[in-house]
Amino acid sequence: MARCRGQTKSGKQCSRQAQEGSDYCYQHQPEEKVNYEDMSLEELKDYMTEKQKRFADYYIEIGDAKEAAVKAGYSEDSAKQIGYENFTKPYLRLYIDKIIAKKDNTRIASQDEVLEYLTSVMRGEIEEEQIVVESKGDYITEARAIMKQVGAKDRNKAAELLGKRYKIFTDNIDLNHSGGIQIIDDID
Q: What is the pLDDT of residue 116?
A: 92
Note whether 18 and 34 are within 8 A (CB). Answer: no
Q: What is the pLDDT of residue 55?
A: 95
d(CA 170, CA 63): 43
As averages over each run of 10 residues, the pLDDT of the chain (188 residues) reads 86 89 84 82 90 93 92 93 91 92 81 89 91 89 91 91 82 70 77
Q: What is the pLDDT of residue 171?
A: 65
The whole model's pTM is what?
A: 0.48
Which of these, 121, 133, 56, 145, lies nearest to 92 by C-alpha position? 56
Report the CATH fold assignment for 36-107: Arc Repressor Mutant, subunit A (1.10.10)
What are the C-alpha distances in Å from 15 to residues 5, 12, 19, 160?
Answer: 9, 9, 12, 74
Note whether 124 and 148 are within 8 A (CB). Answer: no
Ordered by start, the domain boundaries in the chain are 36-107, 112-165
